[in-house]
Structure 1
Amino acid sequence: MSVSFEDISDELDVFGEDVDDSQLQRLQDICQSYSINANELVMQWMAFSSSRKVDLNLDNIEVFEREWLPKKLSNSQSTPKAKGKAFLNKNTISSALEDQLEIIGSYATPEEKSQIAQAAKRQLTPENNNARNKRFMGVNGSPSVKTFSPTSLSPASATPSAKFSSRSNSGETVLKFGNLSGHSWQGEGQGCNVSFYDTSSCLTSHMKYMFQKMMDKAGALNEIIEDISQSLQNAHGIEEFGHLALPSQELVTVSGRICCDSIGRLNNQSVLLEGSRDSSAGKSISLDLSELKQYSLFPGQVQAVDVFYTLYMLAFGREKASTKFNHAFFLPFFFLHQPAKPLRMMVAVGPYAPSDGLDYSPLSDLIKVINRDKPDCCLLSGDLPDTYEEMFNNQMEEISRATKGLGCKIIIVSSNRDAHSCYSVYPQPPYSLSTHFSDGSKVNLIFVSDPATLVINGVVVGLTSTDILMHLTKSEISIGQQSGGLDRMGRLAQHILHQHSYYPLYPAPDDVNIDYDMWETAARLPVTPHILLLPSDLKAFAKDIEGCCCVNPGRLTTGLVGGTFAQILVDTLALRSSSLPVAACAVKIVKV
């Protein structure tokens, strides 16, 4: 299989990975050895690097090829020829995870197998684990919480990350979007009014889940088909939708949800269109995409399609119908009365500590920027991976105290990646504090659910902390240039706005547990927001998506190194007079 440097570089660029020629050469060799394409290679690399918390370099690429790919690509055609070089040593064995020792052992000599057995014993010995985590444990076996200071949110016992502290690009602006000349990025910390766009869709911290009935789930999924179909009918002037399963001698327009005809990733031969109960009795039809020059589809997407499905086709087993997609459209923007002063926001997404410890220096550095630039509000998404409830409360108190005198509102968005939260459901309710701050400083903290639609000084802000962009890019099939000349990132953000949902993908990945009763209430877009915040492991961006300002601020840390955050400036006077909110917005993506 021929894979070029450009193919691999383009796929890595989506995830914000920098790569040099020597690394590209090694990755290209791996593609040829395993007969895989650039997309599959990069997907495997991102899974490996995320689970191991490692950076892209030649040493880690060697470990990736040696320990990861043989397990993930286990069929005989994907096994490379033996290269005759030793792969077991003290470092590789000791760093291997328990579920990787078995696959390593299958390649080992008898002497090496004894080393592996000893390594497994060390990993599984409780005494070793206790000793290794001793500095994080209290006398009762619970996480030990040390004294925090306003200038450093890390426990006193936490060791600073050498790689993070030695960075030289702190404060560097990596991306600029929009142009609001005459306005300063530094504000006065004047504060802002924050409210929910629709209080009836707000989740509470005491909500119950895991009581979902299959009929209710089916009803919610059917409702979204009918709602978007009705919107498409009005937008395109469609007289009525036809029945999916009834053959017709004429071209008819039908609507339904995109599905896959089997278990696995969607491809151009496995696309089904499933109709609603009312229009098509829930029937489905296979779609023929062979004559289409452009499309972008993912499971769960609702589409209106022109089909030609005759009795002749049915009689001779040609079950696929010719297709032409009618493009979806956005919900309208909703403009409220805005104050005269510009709105300055800061957006940061966890993890807030490097992966090698509990040193929260990145969060401390962010708070220094908040104190310096004095934004009106700061949105912090969760993802504090080693945090438990008591530590979470302490961190919230320190954040609140450090920003108390600014008048800045700190908006905390819940995340299912937080260890202290017991909610493993989407949509996720807001956090709540189990303690009260002694000085009453928590008045500047606002806890919101994931997702949420907020109104901040008249600016409608939509946000979700769940990485829907990553989930979509793993599920989508696309060909040709899409409308508006959007790149992949823009196209993914456009799907969310076109489908009127913060999470339109169905079925969701195994680690996203959706309660469809709550999803129907809290995860639908009531309007197109002026600003849409979509945090992701993918490359940070700020884009104009048909007038909506869509921003991925990146993550504050990525592995052992510092990441990025976003600063957003909104000219509220220009927003009031413009029909396209993006014209009144400017964005900076900044290195922490």
Structure 2
Amino acid sequence: MEEEIKAEFSNSGFSLNEEEEILRKCLTFCINYSLSPSDLVSSWEVYYLNRRVSAIVQLNESTVHNAEMDGFLLHLQNEVKESIINEEPNLHVYSSKDVDMMFNDGDRYVKEETIGTPTNKIYPLSSEPFDSGYQQSGSAYSASKPSDIVTPFGDRKEKFAVKFSINPLSTEENGKELEPDSEDDFLKKVESRGRCSMIFHGAKLDPNCRYMYDRIEDRFNALEGRIKRYSLALIASGVHGELMDPAVASQKSIVSVGMICCDGEGHLNDKSILLQSSNEYSGGQRVRLDLQRLSQFSLFPGQVIGIEGNNPSGHCLIASNIIDSNPLSVPADVNLPSAKRQALEKEDQLSDPSSSDKELSVIIAAGPFTTTDNLFFEPLTELLSYASRKIPQLLILLGPFVDSEHPDIRRGATERSFNEIFHLEILMKIRDYVEYLGDNVRVVLVPSIRDANHDFVFPQPGFDIRSSDLNHQITNLTNPGIFEANQVKVGCCTVDILKHLCGEEMSKNPSDGIPSDRMSRLAYHVLSQQSFYPLYPPAEDVPLDFSLAPDTLNFSLIPDILILPSDMKYFVKIVSLGGRNESEEQVKCICINPGRLAKGEGAGTFVELHYNGNPDTASASVIGI
């Protein structure tokens, strides 16, 4: 059989690195899982292709290594498990956790066998008094986890370790656990940090707004508006002269503005790039784009750029230069009328004189806020406990809060409604946090399209939470949204634009103006396009409503802090824009992906940031919870 296995691998184009050891293990796999040599190699091909597609692991061409056999074994075990579950859908595969729950009478808390009908009862935000026991211990937030159940998250050994930092504070060291502050440090922070001011920029979506009524006209106007806005800014800069129609044959060099499109389905490549100009200059016509003269570029579908080049035949624009960044000489926040801005300042900004300094301490965390094996929301409890010791001026929590992709939520294995889970497990914990620390603490909540208890639309209105006593402490921001805290402009978007851009971007030796680091380059695209979601067409799972997009997705001011939660690896990076000529000022922004607070059954990460005047002097740390 070993010879048959070797022959099947050879016929499929695979060579064996440590042949004897690999064949011995493959023979064992065939015997244990009743596989023929051809079935085994077919399973290997599926495993191999999945690993090649992954951006995390890269295999060495078509060579089978002995080190890959352990991963292949897990793949085979998962295939067998899935086939058994498909044959017997009601079968429950017991694990060691089930045994522990049986001995600890844990079935009182997790009842998946009989699923009740969700009720319409909404639990009020202040349905229970503040837990006075927390004032003594500092570790409780009305947690729903029974004390006799030990979860993988609760059993973790490393807590609050710094994974990465920029300009770290003297008390922080990478990879070391952060010690709790003493009582004296606690009192000093309470006395020294005042409440931060809060001003909102751009349009605010009403929680009851109508959505998914967009028309073809709305889509056209949204895309045309982006191209027109870029064209006006390019003309106002006075650097590149008059804009021309890129589809008209011309031997001389011209400057044109348009949107990058793909000719057909699939990803961009050097043969499928089209430039769609505006209706004003070319009637919206598309022309093929030739980039062979360029040694460096970075493009994606939906990107609005300026192009210098010539079109000798009228069928293909030969590019000699790409202007990929919108000029930054745009008035700040043109979308917000001055009267409305003054009203918001009067309503939201506090009289505390210390808030006028451009300094801010903030903790940033993105959901999910509970692990996949339960709905105890232990990571959120740990985060609030950490924040209660550090006492940041601002705590930014980004969804999903009640994650629609959580296994229990997805199969409806809970007796509480989604709103009940949100109010009991999220809002009550946050309420306890702000009540315990007092009026100087503020919390910003940003929803996600993955929130099961909220509208599935993007752009997305903020949560509709009515609580008169916490109006100035818990703020509900739209998704996406921009606000200003202590004169520090912060932009947030919970849709995973970094991951979507990563799958669509085509780059070639990025230039000095565009960051060579890929994560910085993806964040640079969001800033240079001045749009929270510049990709078009959008990803399949993004319910983009073009009737709401122009007022909420586009931003005219460059934020000091840009928060883009993603499933990709966490990072904190300083991204620069502008400054390519003497007349243009360089603008810097701190771009942050805090990672996910919970990852599977384990702990994730969050970010602690201290902003001191400008991005270069800010200190930030990515902390593993």
TM range (shorter): 0.7 to 0.9
Whether contact under 8 Å (1:532, 1:548) holds in the other structure is yes
Counterpart code for 1:444: Q
Q: Secondary structure at the match of 2:365?
A: strand
1:565 pairs, out of 591, 606, 612, with: 606
Q: Secondary structure at the match of 2:547?
A: helix
The 1:178–1:469 alpha-carbon spacing in structure 2 relative to 1, beyond 3 Å, is same
1:326 pairs, out of 315, 323, 328, with: 323
Whether contact under 8 Å (1:300, 1:507) holds in the other structure is yes
The 1:31–1:496 alpha-carbon spacing in structure 2 relative to 1, beyond 3 Å, is farther
Whether contact under 8 Å (1:153, 1:360) holds in the other structure is no
Matched with 2:62 is: none
2:54 pairs, out of 42, 48, 56, with: 42
Q: Separation in 2 of the partners of 1:433 and 1:162?
A: 31
The 1:326–1:119 alpha-carbon spacing in structure 2 relative to 1, beyond 3 Å, is same
Q: Secondary structure at the match of 1:429?
A: coil
Q: Secondary structure at the match of 1:392?
A: helix
Matched with 2:383 is: 366
Percent identity (aligned): 26
- Say whether residues 1:274 and 2:315 are aligned partners: no
- Say whether residues 1:119 and 2:88 are aligned partners: yes
Q: Separation in 2 of the partners of 1:161 and 1:430?
A: 35
The 1:282–1:454 alpha-carbon spacing in structure 2 relative to 1, beyond 3 Å, is same
1:512 pairs, out of 542, 547, 550, with: 542
- Say whether residues 1:304 and 2:306 are aligned partners: yes
Cα shift readout 1:14-72 (whole Å, capped 9, x = no counterpart): xxxxxxxxxxxxxxx999957988995215989xxxxxxxxx997565444x5xxxxxx
Q: Separation in 2 of the partners of 1:502 and 1:160?
A: 42
Q: CA deviation at 1:118?
A: 3.5
Matched with 1:15 is: none
User: So what's the TM-score if we normalise by structure 2?
Assistant: 0.70
Q: CA deviation at 1:263?
A: 1.1
Q: Separation in 1 of the partners of 2:510 and 2:297?
A: 8
Q: CA deviation at 1:390?
A: 1.2
Q: CA deviation at 1:116?
A: 6.7
Whether contact under 8 Å (1:160, 1:359) holds in the other structure is no
Q: Which consecutive unaligned segments of at least 5 residues does structure 2 have?
A: 1-12, 16-40, 59-66, 93-106, 135-139, 173-180, 334-344, 346-352, 404-408, 410-416, 577-587
Q: Separation in 1 of the partners of 2:279 and 2:73?
A: 52
Q: Separation in 1 of the partners of 2:245 and 2:462?
A: 42
Q: Secondary structure at the match of 1:516?
A: coil
Q: CA deviation at 1:267?
A: 1.8
1:369-448 to 2 correspondences below 5 Å: 369-384=386-401, 385=403, 386=409, 388-394=418-424, 395-406=426-437, 407-421=440-454, 423-433=455-465, 440-441=469-470, 443-448=472-477
Q: CA deviation at 1:321?
A: 3.0
User: So what's the TM-score if we normalise by structure 1?
Assistant: 0.74
The 1:331–1:544 alpha-carbon spacing in structure 2 relative to 1, beyond 3 Å, is same
Q: Secondary structure at the match of 2:54?
A: helix
The 1:403–1:32 alpha-carbon spacing in structure 2 relative to 1, beyond 3 Å, is same
Q: CA deviation at 1:323?
A: 4.2
Whether contact under 8 Å (1:378, 1:410) holds in the other structure is yes
Q: Which consecutive unaligned segments of at least 5 residues does structure 1 have?
A: 4-28, 47-55, 67-86, 102-114, 124-129, 576-580
The 1:360–1:330 alpha-carbon spacing in structure 2 relative to 1, beyond 3 Å, is farther
Counterpart code for 1:401: D
2:365 pairs, out of 345, 348, 369, with: 348
Matched with 1:155 is: 144
1:170 pairs, out of 144, 152, 159, with: 159
Matched with 2:572 is: 542
Larger Rg: 2
Q: Which moved more, 1:251-260 or 1:226-235?
A: 226-235
Matched with 1:7 is: none
Q: CA deviation at 1:221?
A: 0.7
Cα shift readout 1:205-231 (whole Å, capped 9, x = no counterpart): 111101111112101110101111222
Whether contact under 8 Å (1:401, 1:441) holds in the other structure is no
Runs of 4+ in 1 over 6 A off after TM superposition: 29-32, 34-39, 130-133, 143-150, 180-186
Q: Secondary structure at the match of 1:250?
A: strand
Q: Separation in 2 of the partners of 1:535 and 1:252?
A: 39
What is the number of equivalent residue pairs in this alignment? 491
Whether contact under 8 Å (1:137, 1:144) holds in the other structure is no
Q: Secondary structure at the match of 1:567?
A: strand
- Say whether residues 1:256 and 2:267 are aligned partners: no
Q: Secondary structure at the match of 1:251?
A: strand
Cα shift readout 1:298-336 (whole Å, capped 9, x = no counterpart): 00000111222113x75xxxx463442123146369699
